[in-house]
Chain A
Amino acid sequence: MVKYCELFYSFLKIGTFTIGGGYAMIPLMEQELVDRRGWMSREEFLDQLALSQSMPGVLAVNMATGLGYRLRGLRGAVSAIAGNIVMPIVFILILAILFRHFRDNIYVERFFMGVRPAVVALIAAPVFRLAQSAKITWGTCWIPLLSALLIWLFDVSPILIILAAVFLGFAYGRIKLKGDF
């Protein structure tokens, strides 16, 4: 039986030492839980990964919830989530408090003048990578284009866009399935 504190400690390590978000954490979680600790099979881990990606929320937290729950139920899920996010939150709060005092420093300001365009580029880059993995074709490229334009130019809430996408996917499947019969 996996102990709560072991579960907490494993996710603490992963949360504290991974920079770059959820996708950077997945290989570390696999290594720790499957290879090093042997708490679950690779198949079960991959099942949880597929499920985490198809549910709403932060990927790393979804993984911690599902893996923790599979190992020790509700308390296991809470232990894993707490381990995963406690240090990042502490780091961010310390930085947020310090940044207030240094923000008006001329070198900090110059650092961020350089960083801002870089951040925009970092967000723009995955658009093209993800467009490939989402299998967007000439027939379906209006979906991401229309979504982006409605949000950008007309301030339409992304929540409405997501709801419309859910409806569209559901309706599309139903209509196409009927055609097949």
Chain B
Amino acid sequence: MLFLQLFWSFLKIGLFTFGGGYAMIALIQSEVTVNHHWLTSQEFTDILAISQMTPGPVGINTATYTGYTAILNAGYDTWLAVFGALLASFAVILLPVVLMVVAVIFLKKMQGNKDNDNIFRVLRMTVVGLIAAAALQLLTVDSFGQPALSLQFLLSVAIFIAVFALALKRVSPILLILSAGVLGILAYTLLPV
């Protein structure tokens, strides 16, 4: 049953992802942490970090890792979790692949369609909101620490501001994630937290 739900969830996620991997984050988040509680918000944040640091399409990486963790969290063994990971990746690409093949065949009929252009103008704006929602939903105690004047909270806010500013200047995400991690090791080892 869980495997069927996982397949169905990622089938939907694939079909409704417009505008790349970041837009997909809000959809996966809504399915796996809000609707089904397969993962905690903290687990999901860690998965996002790893998915961006490893090679390959971020959407595939996130789907694979989320599928694996969801099955493992439900109490199944590693091999079934690997099956869950493959199932999630397969489900997430299935409908878009079918649609793309159909689109290539009928390409000529789709170009310059006015309805199509209007729909995509609104979709592009909506996707900006979807990505903002994904970021807002990750503003949690799990990611930042208790918002009393704890050292972890202050350091987290500092890291957030620094990474935000550098990301706007198009510094590589891998470099930013690794630096934040090394800073975490140094700060939490050397300072009294």
Interface on A for B, CB 8 Å cutoff? 15-23, 25, 47-48, 51-62, 65-66, 69-70, 74, 77, 81, 84-85, 87-89, 91-93, 95-97, 99-100, 107, 110-131, 133-136, 140, 143-149, 151-152, 155, 157-159, 161-166, 168-170, 172-174, 177
Q: A93-B85, A127-B131 are in contact. Are A54 and B97 (CB under 8 A)?
A: no
A–B Cβ pairs within 8 angstroms, 19 of them? A22-B20, A25-B57, A47-B107, A57-B97, A58-B14, A65-B96, A70-B104, A93-B64, A114-B159, A118-B159, A119-B49, A123-B135, A126-B22, A130-B124, A133-B124, A143-B126, A145-B129, A169-B121, A173-B118
Q: A55-B96, A92-B51, A96-B68 are in contact. Are A114 and B18 (CB under 8 A)?
A: no
Q: A66-B100, A127-B128, A148-B130 are in contact. Are A117 and B143 (CB under 8 A)?
A: yes
Q: By the criterion CB–CB under 8 Å, are B56 and A18 in contact?
A: yes
Is chain B's interface secondary structure helix, strand, loop, or mixed overall? helix
* A59 CB to nearest B CB, Å: 5
Q: By the criterion CB–CB under 8 Å, are B64 and A147 in contact?
A: no
Considering the chains assembled together, what is the distance between the CA atoms of A66 and B104 in angstroms?
7
Q: By the criterion CB–CB under 8 Å, are A112 and B25 in contact?
A: no
Q: By the criterion CB–CB under 8 Å, are B132 and A148 in contact?
A: yes
Q: B172 an interface residue at 8 Å Cβ cutoff?
A: yes
Cβ–Cβ < 8 Å partners of B53 in chain A: 19
Q: By the criterion CB–CB under 8 Å, are A59 and B57 in contact?
A: yes
* A91 CB to nearest B CB, Å: 5
Q: Nearest B residue to A168 by beta-carbon distance?
A: B122
Is chain A's interface secondary structure helix, strand, loop, or mixed overall? helix
Cβ–Cβ < 8 Å partners of B147 in chain A: none
Q: By the criterion CB–CB under 8 Å, are B14 and A17 in contact?
A: no
Q: By the criterion CB–CB under 8 Å, are B160 and A115 in contact?
A: no
Considering the chains assembled together, what is the distance between the CA atoms of A154 and B126 in angstroms?
16
Q: By the criterion CB–CB under 8 Å, are A117 and B160 in contact?
A: yes
Q: By the criterion CB–CB under 8 Å, are A19 and B54 in contact?
A: yes
Q: A17-B55, A114-B181, A116-B156 are in contact. Are A58 and B121 (CB under 8 A)?
A: no
- Of the residues A124, A144, A147, A157, contact of B164 by C-beta under 8 Å: A124
Cβ–Cβ < 8 Å partners of A140 in chain B: 125
Q: By the criterion CB–CB under 8 Å, are A130 and B128 in contact?
A: yes
Considering the chains assembled together, what is the distance between the CA atoms of A65 and B119 in angstroms?
23
Cβ–Cβ < 8 Å partners of B48 in chain A: 119, 123
Q: B149 an interface residue at 8 Å Cβ cutoff?
A: no
Q: By the criterion CB–CB under 8 Å, are B143 and A87 in contact?
A: no
Cβ–Cβ < 8 Å partners of A21 in chain B: 20-21, 52, 56-59
Cβ–Cβ < 8 Å partners of A128 in chain B: 168
